[in-house]
């Protein structure tokens, strides 16, 4: 008996988050669970907790990668958690643990995860999130833009090679 090969999809976004973002993250979590994916997140509150809750309550696996040294800081919807003691540097581990990430809104922490994902070749799906351009030129960035949680999950699974 061997472990199933599952897609690992990161959901990244703000903490705290408003209710619109929270509902989107919770729905993304639920859809990921229904698709058999593992939900990866930073393990704390706001969008992380809402995404984990959506997935966990739908029977999915959730993995929280925490900044501090104790799992007591994690939200209550994590199947498994990993305290790292690395502070915000753990954002890079969230990305390394994901086959694709979905960015929902977000502040600078989310931006750091988007950038690290793009740098290391992890596909990024964006739902109302950062827009990246350069002073020297404009044009579409490398984020796959979507408008709904359903599109976000479908896009992330496809980009992760599962569809």
List interacting residues with a second copy (CB under 8 A). 1-3, 8, 38, 56-57, 61-63, 65, 69, 71, 76-89, 91-93, 96-97, 105, 107-109, 111-112, 114-116, 118-120, 126, 128-136, 145
* Residue closer to a second copy (CB basis): 27 or 110: 110
State the minimum distance, in angstroms, from the CB of residue 117 to a second copy.
9
* Residue closer to a second copy (CB basis): 119 or 163: 119
* Residue closer to a second copy (CB basis): 25 or 92: 92
Q: For residues 147 and 115, what is the distance between their CA atoms, to the nearest angstrom?
A: 21
Q: What angle do CA 62, 64, 66 make, to 5 degrees?
A: 175
Burial 116-140, CB ≥16 within 10 A → b, else e: bbbeeebbbbbbebbeeeeeeeeee
State the minimum distance, in angstroms, from the CB of residue 161 to a second copy.
12
Report how far apart, in Å, the C-alpha atoms of 27 and of each of 42, 92, 120 are: 17, 24, 27
* Residue closer to a second copy (CB basis): 31 or 81: 81
- Region for 47 from its dihedrals, namely left if φ exceeds 0, alpha if ψ lies in -120 to 50, beta otherwise: alpha
State the minimum distance, in angstroms, from the CB of residue 130 to a second copy.
6
State the minimum distance, in angstroms, from the CB of residue 96 to a second copy.
5
β-strands 8-12, 100-104 pairing: parallel
* Residue closer to a second copy (CB basis): 19 or 131: 131
State the minimum distance, in angstroms, from the CB of residue 60 to a second copy.
12
Centre a 10 Å sphere on the Cβ of residue 105 and count the other Cβ atoms it contains: 21
Reading the block at residue 114, the tokens are 């988007």
């Amino acid at each position: 008996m061997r472990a199933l090969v599952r897609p690992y999809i990161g959901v990244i976004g703000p903490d705290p988050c408003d209710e619109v973002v929270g509902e989107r993250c919770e729905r993304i979590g639920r859809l990921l669970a229904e698709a058999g994916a593992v939900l990866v997140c930073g393990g704390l509150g706001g969008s992380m907790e809402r995404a984990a809750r959506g997935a966990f309550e739908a029977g999915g696996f959730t993995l929280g990668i925490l900044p501090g040294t104790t799992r007591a800081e994690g939200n209550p919807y994590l199947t498994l958690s990993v305290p790292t003691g690395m502070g915000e540097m753990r954002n890079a581990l969230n990305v390394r643990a994901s086959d694709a990430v979905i960015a929902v809104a977000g502040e600078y922490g989310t931006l750091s995860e988007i950038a690290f994902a793009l740098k290391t070749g992890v596909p990024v799906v964006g739902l109302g999130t950062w827009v990246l351009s350069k002073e020297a030129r404009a044009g579409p960035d490398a984020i796959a833009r979507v408008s709904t949680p359903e599109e976000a999950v479908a896009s992330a699974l496809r980009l992760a090679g599962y569809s």
